[in-house]
Structure 1
């Protein structure tokens, strides 16, 4: 359920495909310099190779932070090779480290400076299906054709199974569906088909926080130690963390508790057996990676803890809060953590990023970080509510989640990442379980929202990003 927002920012600055000629030799030359500076641990030297778009997307401090905290710990690049050079513009390089391999997408602007600089996990090339995947897209207009162009490179891969897309623009909803709900069943997904939405769940948790803050039951500035047992709150590391910091990923807590794996009885269902006592046992002795409030570091743990605190405040389970505060008022009847028999009939079979069937995830205490299942139709209702001002308690809570709470290299509200795509500002979150991938983005000013759901663990972000750029 991770979000690599700095990669999203860079991706949004430029398309991965652009016509050009005679660029490979120049790109290879710059790549060789990048490799040299990387192995010498010189982030500023790499940044000196960057062009204007790159620099607008990422400041020197932000780039230095990414290198120092995410890339350099991988060790030196032991070997590298060019995998592909797409449209004589975009180089894709395989980088081999001591214990892992990454791929780097890189291209140059018209001044031979780095424009695209995108690290991803390295995967062997996935083959294409022999024929076109079935779809509800009738290709009647330019919008239909743009959607098809965006999704075909994803859905035609042998690992992809089904994709459901929703567009809300100028008050008009359009939905598109591709593939199957289960491999081999020849049944297209629909706008009411349920998928795991993973970390988009965090925006629901943020809305609950804002709702109870507006209601006077909590304050965003409350230290979390107010809500923790004495045996946990005595840990000095925790005493500077506020509820707001749990929601905007600036608490200093790590992505996951290091005792999660000790309590996972099923490696394919890692969150299921993690309970409140396990969480508190971890928090009693945990160490922070940074001072609370100073740095962004995405944390499933932090949002899971926030939800546990809100359960204590409200006296209700997470799913009950989501239903009562958000889903019932909005008429979202197909969004839930646990599915009844009728909803189960509309839930997809899920597949890992290699196209192999895998269990859907179950959750214990960390449910507020990624446990919800939903549909394109319900998420479009949710997006519309996020773009509509109303005199209701829920609308006022949603409005509070949009207010900027952190703006150092990365801009965040409560739960939402606030990003630039082209010249427009969007509220964004994605999600990923082992078996599903999700994407939700909206721009309130233009009343424009895009939802993309897949029942494959391979990221759907590139599809969502391309749709936004082609339609905005």
Structure 2
């Protein structure tokens, strides 16, 4: 009944809090337009950013899907959690939780309907336990910064890893499960989300070294003949444009929310057959190689192409070519029992428990889960010049796309103005961040069990502490 719900809200930025009057007026507007089934007018009330993420036809299907609930009868105000407004909405057939955000012009920055259940308010701001011994000035500066962000974002489990030359530091804050008293340690498992893309880029670089392809190889080389040439203005999509987000493909396939779909596990049922079916009618938003447009679809497709190139599953590829050479013993794209046993419970930005995400054809975009110990080893390998993967990692880090002469991205890795490279990650219940600088031999990894950009909020301030 609620196939589109979580998928739609997951793509959105945190909204801005407004006074009660425009919020009430927005609810009345939404109710009127919904009951009129006027999806066109309702779509016009979305911000431009939201419209870019949800095409008009997909939004119309969403409203048609919700129409099965019947007439919207009433709306009772609920809590406002981290800037998201909640209303208990009574329809003919079900009671739903309306969650939405508004910008300063009262345009919708988010919109979702889920079955109603009492929402858990943000927990009291009691100090979270920590493994930080506060033994050095660096420890104390880090602790002060972390607790400022924790007070605002409230993760329940947070792991941090720092590399500064030959020094490695790891810190744990909070609890792996609320009320457990268990501070996260170096073996606590988190979903790392889109940091997976840097591993996919490494696999691509290894395939280049093995002369199985080049960066300029057209993706159709490995696709079924039934899929038309992916091109625009006579320029074809190459494996390079998949890796650096300049292919012109959208962020996600527009068909991911159709057919069999689990809103709590949105990538689970999107298999290779559905991926190829989508590609048969896919259109590109821009000429390949000319415009940066972040695409989970592109990175996921690259992972599938590498499976075809190597004749191995994505899990087999990362285990054989990355995890074993680097001794990453608790890293996997699969939710195996040995990882699940020490995995921190994930929460969304409203502190609702979230299930783990599973992937099929888009595994290369975000399927990996790992620990702070393994991710520090991974970061160390990215800094090194003497590991079995050093040459491939160098290839993946080299800039492949620039704007106004300034590097934007390599293969998967994004560039900061100060020369550091980085990637973040976010799934239904986790957020993550990694950044590193080969010249200074420094790296930072942040893993949390709560969505909503907590890791992003910590990473750049942590970088200032590390470099000063």
> Which category of TM-score, normalised to the shorter sequence, fits these structures?
0.7 to 0.9
Cα gap change, 1:462/1:213 in structure 2, threshold over 3 Å: closer, same or farther? Answer: same
Q: Distance in 2 between matches of 1:130 and 1:354?
A: 15
Residues 363-410 of structure 1, C-alpha deviation per residue, up to 9 Å, x if partnerless? 111011000000111111111111111273x21111101111001155
Cα gap change, 1:383/1:228 in structure 2, threshold over 3 Å: closer, same or farther? Answer: same
1:412 aligns with 2:409: yes
Cα gap change, 1:377/1:229 in structure 2, threshold over 3 Å: closer, same or farther? Answer: same
Matches within 5 A, 1:192-341: 192-234=187-229, 236-237=231-232, 240-341=236-337
Cα gap change, 1:466/1:264 in structure 2, threshold over 3 Å: closer, same or farther? Answer: farther
Following superposition, the deviation at residue 73 of structure 1 comes to 6.5
Cα gap change, 1:236/1:438 in structure 2, threshold over 3 Å: closer, same or farther? Answer: closer
1:171 alignment partner in structure 2:
166
TM-score (ref. length: structure 2): 0.74
1:42 alignment partner in structure 2:
none
Following superposition, the deviation at residue 195 of structure 1 comes to 0.2
1:144 alignment partner in structure 2:
139
1:447 aligns with 2:441: yes
Q: Distance in 2 between matches of 1:449 and 1:235?
A: 37
Cα gap change, 1:141/1:222 in structure 2, threshold over 3 Å: closer, same or farther? Answer: same
Following superposition, the deviation at residue 234 of structure 1 comes to 4.2
Following superposition, the deviation at residue 264 of structure 1 comes to 4.6
Residues 245-296 of structure 1, C-alpha deviation per residue, up to 9 Å, x if partnerless? 0000000000000000014521011000001111111111111111100000
1:29 alignment partner in structure 2:
none
Following superposition, the deviation at residue 139 of structure 1 comes to 1.6
Following superposition, the deviation at residue 458 of structure 1 comes to 2.1
Following superposition, the deviation at residue 346 of structure 1 comes to 1.2
SS in 2 for 1:246: helix
Cα gap change, 1:360/1:72 in structure 2, threshold over 3 Å: closer, same or farther? Answer: closer
1:374 alignment partner in structure 2:
370
Cα gap change, 1:143/1:199 in structure 2, threshold over 3 Å: closer, same or farther? Answer: same
Matches within 5 A, 1:66-81: 70=49
Following superposition, the deviation at residue 99 of structure 1 comes to 2.5
TM-score (ref. length: structure 1): 0.73
Residues 335-371 of structure 1, C-alpha deviation per residue, up to 9 Å, x if partnerless? 1011432222111111111111011101111011000
Is 1:155–1:163's contact at 8 Å kept on the other side of the alignment?
A: no
Q: Specify every segment of 5 or more residues in structure 1 that has no aligned partner in the other structure, as ranges.
A: 2-6, 8-67, 75-82, 85-92, 103-125
Q: Distance in 1 between matches of 2:190 and 2:245?
A: 25
Runs of 4+ that moved beyond 6 A? 71-74
Q: Distance in 2 between matches of 1:369 and 1:158?
A: 25
Cα gap change, 1:451/1:396 in structure 2, threshold over 3 Å: closer, same or farther? Answer: same
Following superposition, the deviation at residue 205 of structure 1 comes to 0.2
Cα gap change, 1:199/1:264 in structure 2, threshold over 3 Å: closer, same or farther? Answer: farther
Following superposition, the deviation at residue 131 of structure 1 comes to 2.1
1:98 alignment partner in structure 2:
107
Cα gap change, 1:97/1:223 in structure 2, threshold over 3 Å: closer, same or farther? Answer: farther
Following superposition, the deviation at residue 155 of structure 1 comes to 2.6
SS in 2 for 1:95: coil
1:425 alignment partner in structure 2:
419
Q: Distance in 1 between matches of 2:320 and 2:158?
A: 29
Q: Specify every segment of 5 or more residues in structure 2 that has no aligned partner in the other structure, as ranges.
A: 1-6, 8-12, 14-46, 54-81, 84-101, 112-120
Q: Distance in 2 between matches of 1:433 and 1:71?
A: 19
Residues 409-436 of structure 1, C-alpha deviation per residue, up to 9 Å, x if partnerless? 551111100112xxx3111000000100
SS in 1 for 2:126: coil
How big is the alpha-carbon RMSD for the aligned residues of Structure 1 and Structure 2? 2.8
Q: Distance in 2 between matches of 1:299 and 1:346?
A: 31
1:19 alignment partner in structure 2:
none
Is 2:231–2:284's contact at 8 Å kept on the other side of the alignment?
A: no
Is 1:134–1:178's contact at 8 Å kept on the other side of the alignment?
A: yes
Residues 108-127 of structure 1, C-alpha deviation per residue, up to 9 Å, x if partnerless? xxxxxxxxxxxxxxxxxx85
SS in 2 for 1:230: coil
1:384 aligns with 2:380: yes
Q: Distance in 1 between matches of 2:144 and 2:151?
A: 11
SS in 2 for 1:287: coil
Is 2:103–2:109's contact at 8 Å kept on the other side of the alignment?
A: no
Cα gap change, 1:130/1:287 in structure 2, threshold over 3 Å: closer, same or farther? Answer: closer
Q: Distance in 1 between matches of 2:323 and 2:50?
A: 40
2:94 alignment partner in structure 1:
none
Residues 287-332 of structure 1, C-alpha deviation per residue, up to 9 Å, x if partnerless? 1111100000000000100111100010000011001111100111
Q: Distance in 2 between matches of 1:73 and 1:165?
A: 34
